[in-house]
Amino acid sequence: MRRERLIAVARGDAPADLLLANARVVNVFTAEVLPGNVAISGERIAGIGDYRDAAEVVDLKGRFLAPGLIDGHTHVESSLLHPAEYARAVVPRGTCGVVTDLHEIANVAGLKGVRYMMDAFRRLPLDFYLMVPSCVPSSRLETSGATLDADDVKRALRWQEVIGLGEMMDFPGVIHGDPEVLKKLEATRRRVIDGHAPGLKGKELNAYLAAGISSDHESIALEEAREKLRGGMRIMIREGSSEKNLKALLPLVTDQTCRRCLFVVDDRTCADLLRDGDIDAVLRKAIGLGLDPVRAVQLATINTAEYFKLDGVGAIAPGYLANMVVIDDLRSFHVSAVFHRGRKVAEDGRALFQASRPIDKRLADTMHIKPFRMEALALPATGETMPVIEVVLGQIVTRRFDARPRIENGLVVPDIERDLLKLVVVERHKATGNIGRGLVKGFGLKAGALATSIAHDSHNIVAAGTTDRDIYSAVKQVERMGGGLVVTRGGKVLDSLALPIAGLLSDQPLELVVSKLERLEHLARALGGALPSPFAALSFLALPVIPELRLTDKGMVDVTEFKLIE
């Protein structure tokens, strides 16, 4: 009966439930902006044209009406927010759909963690599409809290919200035909398989593509992305909190290539979501860099929907879900109202919905650290030089260089003058006692330490600091809180943010979490910190699938060789 009524409204023989009148409609199929009235019946658009009769009429007075935005690749957990608060942050910004693989919480709690997030999203005015995590853990070079094998992937693929396989980070396993990796790929035949191929080119890239992988979000250079585009990949142009590739990759978008590109954020902090925005912020920056506004909308709507085969979203057209955003001006892209499935859910930057923040007790006990003393953080000198991880500003790739460390009593110690700080990773899932130790350059701290249980992808505790005392104090505070972010100095905790849900998410309101995070970042800068998002940067230093050098609980990893450095 709903379809019958939708057709009747489209014919003009029945009144619409809602009429958005006097709109300038962004047509993403033809890249036009056309005047019209949009008639809505239930959750769907009946038609665009000279419609007059409706139970409710909203006069847009010539404002622009665009499809609801879709984030084609994001990790919700990186916001530090419960799904209810994440929706409060992104929906008023125009985000009506998110595609995510939730591999952060999967690495901590397996499929039960994924189910917890999915159940929370079902109650929200935000379309949620799940890509099954493909690499839990991301590699054998770290210790995670859970493992998802091919049978787990098959089980999850039967869930209603699942649309494909998440980013295949184990590119060596793909290229060399690892049997378990191939089982996961085979289980996902006829579904979308996202890629993760930093720096791959030539025959290795061909092998990766031949496995059926169809997108990439890890390109940081134009020619790298162009080669992948020529090989048939969709290119996800990423602009997150730590990963900023938009300026470098935007020249890739031309009349010939634009339908093969889409915008994503990958990882975005709660502070950036609240202060700057979500996908809407990427659109604004792209438009500011010279991209046509209507084309920018295409890269955040219909291109994403078509790649992921999401029927009925990504456009304003008859039969499509009534997910739409009202915009005062296309160039400034200020979202003044958001409609989700025919219902207004946000206005003037404010969410018009409320949602609870339940916690699964099984996810509130995930800190299992083997007791250790501060002496366990000591790093013996084993040669004249040692490899150092160098942070690259605005990127999540790192550089490796070999330096002569400062040595005292046979131990490598931080060298503040050269910005060589100690970096440690403490295993927190299985009480193995593993502690990885090394040096990092780029944080700029003159005193104190930072620690976090957000450490992609296995989410052990990662800390960087100027003294073992400060590092130890920070790690122990993370443990006491059940996860979180910490700043210490002089062995004392200056401030912290608890993340009790799997050591990844807060159970507090958006504004409070942002206030706490900004306070911690301010403290880091007061200690000499040189990075705009120090905790975001710290969180990626344990990810052993992004070149060049990383540190896990098992030790220093040469990612280009995909092996531990002895």
CA distance 186 to 389: 36
Q: Which residue has the higher pLDDT, 43 or 383?
A: 43
Q: Residue 374 — φ and ψ, nearest 5°?
A: -60, -30
| pLDDT recorded at residue 241 | 84
Contact 554, 544 (CB under 8 A): no
Nearest to 299 by CA among 346, 238, 360, 222: 238
CA torsion angle 520 524 527 530 (round to 10) = -160
**Interval 186-234: pLDDT, tens:** 999 889 999 999 999 999 999 999 999 999 999 999 999 999 999 999 9
Q: Is the pLDDT of residue 360 over 90?
A: no
Name all domains of the chain by residue range, CATH numbers in brackets.
68-313 (3.20.20.140), 362-564 (no CATH)
Which is it for the CA torsion 464, 468, 469, 473, positive or negative?
positive
| pLDDT recorded at residue 326 | 98
CB count in 10 Å sphere of residue 4: 9
| pLDDT classification of 315: cutoffs 50, 70, 90 | very high
Q: Which residue has the higher pLDDT, 190 or 264?
A: 264
| pLDDT classification of 166: cutoffs 50, 70, 90 | very high
The separation between the first and the last C-alpha atoms of the chain, rounded to the nearest angstrom, is 68
Contact 250, 286 (CB under 8 A): yes
| pLDDT recorded at residue 27 | 98
| pLDDT recorded at residue 256 | 97
Q: At what angle do helices 510-526 and 83-90 cross, to 10 degrees?
A: 80
DSSP string across 106-158:
HHHHHHHHHHHHHHHHTTSSSEEEEEEP--SSS-TTS--S----HHHHHHHTT
Burial 529-558 (b: 16+ CB within 10 A, else e): bebebbbbbbbbbbbbbbbbbbbbbbbbbb
| pLDDT recorded at residue 361 | 83
CA angle 498, 358, 100 (to 5 degrees): 80
**Interval 281-297: pLDDT, tens:** 999 999 999 999 999 99
492 vs 362, 464, 473, 477, 487, CA distance in Å? 30, 15, 7, 10, 9
Contact 247, 219 (CB under 8 A): no
Q: Is the pLDDT of residue 566 over 80?
A: no
| pLDDT recorded at residue 79 | 95
Q: Is the pLDDT of residue 168 over 80?
A: yes
| pLDDT recorded at residue 291 | 98
| pLDDT recorded at residue 362 | 84
Q: At what angle do helices 83-90 and 103-121 cross, to 10 degrees?
A: 80
| pLDDT classification of 562: cutoffs 50, 70, 90 | confident
| pLDDT recorded at residue 461 | 98
**Interval 97-156: pLDDT, tens:** 999 999 999 999 999 999 999 999 998 999 999 999 999 998 889 999 999 999 999 999
| pLDDT classification of 386: cutoffs 50, 70, 90 | very high
Mean pLDDT of the chain: 96
Q: What is the mean pLDDT of residues 9-33?
A: 98
Q: What is the mean pLDDT of residues 437-442?
A: 98
| pLDDT classification of 328: cutoffs 50, 70, 90 | very high
| pLDDT recorded at residue 355 | 81
pLDDT more than 70, % of the chain: 100
437 vs 106, 271, 327, 430, 472, CA distance in Å? 25, 30, 50, 19, 12
Those residues whose C-beta lies under 8 Å from the C-beta of residue 524, and which sit 6 or more positions away, are 445, 450, 487, 531, 534, 535
CA distance 325 to 69: 8
| pLDDT recorded at residue 395 | 85
| Strand 549-552 versus strand 492-498 pairing type | unpaired
| pLDDT classification of 270: cutoffs 50, 70, 90 | very high
Q: Is the pLDDT of residue 1 over 80?
A: no
pLDDT more than 90, % of the chain: 92
